[in-house]
Structure 1
Amino acid sequence: MRHNKKINHLGRKSSHRNAMLANMCISLFMSPNKRIFTTVAKAKALRKVVEPMINKSKEDTTHSRRLVFQDLQINSDKSKAAVTELFQNISQKVADRPGGYTRIIKTGNRLGDNAAMCFIELVDYNENMLKEKKAAASKGRTRRSSAAKKNADQPVAVKESAKKAKAEEVEVAPIVDEVTPEVPATEEKPKTEE
């Protein structure tokens, strides 16, 4: 059972693990396509570190810069460049996204030790995925039939008049029972003898 095991230690002591994740964050932020190739376990651990940093970068204050720099303070030159990149470029690109800044794409197993490998990337920097999403959004898939879709585009008054016209077409003339015409009764005059 894995009770109360909320962190994957990745087979390392805490100082080694923190340094490794900080280096991976710097590599992710500084790579030109904002993507790194790593194992699935490391990527999942990295996601827990990167996402809060990107959230903090949305508010460009001295305090939030210091908090991010505190987590990345491994090699000060690379850390400063990564913090600058994060707050100037990345935060602008993800400004309207409410979370979920990273994507993990599994690529299969490594040949040497059969470890599960993947890419971890920033969502807004993958141009191919963004094009596919825009194309899918413009296509406008719906589960409604084409007739219902056509009616959805018409104004309400047109819809109501169309309904009335259909009702009139469907209506059949009322069936009238054949009734013999009533002849008005004429008053018979009493016959008088002549």
Structure 2
Amino acid sequence: MRHRCKVSLLGLPADQRKALLRSLATEIIRHGQIKTTKTRAKAVRSEVERMISLAKDGSLAARRRALGYIYDKDLVSELFKAVQDRYGDRQGGYTRIVRTKSRRGDNAEMAIIELV
């Protein structure tokens, strides 16, 4: 049964899946958008929004939790500085998923996930 299992398993073992989601979230925060499959974009959306919510909180505990998840320390400090100006009045929905053309090799549904 998959009751209440929101995130897809992505066909990976748990450690590889967590590493993939961490790296995708880090790159979205660094570059503002990435192009990936639709399933991966839906899976990483919650992680990115959790990191932005931590940055909006701004406390020392939130900063340490973000440092434990995002790979780059400089990126975390940059995120905590810029997030209040960008998302201060927004209550959620910090990312947007836009579907694009299917991938040529295996016809996988592709999408662009970007920060709003």
TM more than 0.5: yes
How far did 1:3 drift? Answer: 3.6
Bigger relative contact order (CA 8 A; separation at least 6):
2
Partner residue of 1:40 out of 13, 16, 38: 38
- The structural deviation recorded for 1:5 is 5.9
Q: Which runs of 5+ in 1 are unaligned?
A: 124-194
Q: Which runs of 4+ in 1 moved over 6 A?
A: none
- Secondary structure, in 3 states, of the residue corresponding to 1:110? coil
In 1, Cα distance between the equivalents of 2:33 and 2:84?
16
Query: What is residue 8 of structure 1 aligned with on the other side?
Result: 8
| Structure 2: distance between partners of 1:42 and 1:90 | 24
Q: 2:101 aligns with which of 78, 88, 108?
A: 108
Do the aligned partners of 1:30 and 1:85 also contact (CA within 8 Å) in 2? no
TM-superposed CA distance for 1:28, in Å, is 0.8
State the TM-score, normalizing by the size of structure 2.
Answer: 0.91
Tell me, in whole angstroms, the C-alpha distance in 2 between the residues paired with 1:60 and 1:85.
12
* SS of equivalent to 1:109: coil
Q: Map 1:40-189 to 2 at 5 A.
A: 40-72=38-70, 75=71, 79-123=72-116
State the SS of the aligned residue for 2:100. strand
Question: What percent of counterpart residues are identical?
Answer: 37
Deviation at 1:100, TM superposition (A): 0.3
Unaligned runs of 5+ in 2: none
Tell me how far apart the structure 2 counterparts of residues 91 and 10 of structure 1 sit (CA, whole Å). 33
8 Å Cα contact 1:22-1:71 kept in structure 2: yes
Kept after mapping to 2: 8 A contact 1:28/1:36: yes
Distance in 2, matches of 1:85 and 1:46, equals 20
TM-score (norm: length of structure 1): 0.56
Tell me if structure 1 keeps the 8 A contact 2:29–2:48: no
1:48 aligned partner, one-letter code = S
C-alpha separation in 2, matches of 1:36 and 1:120: 6
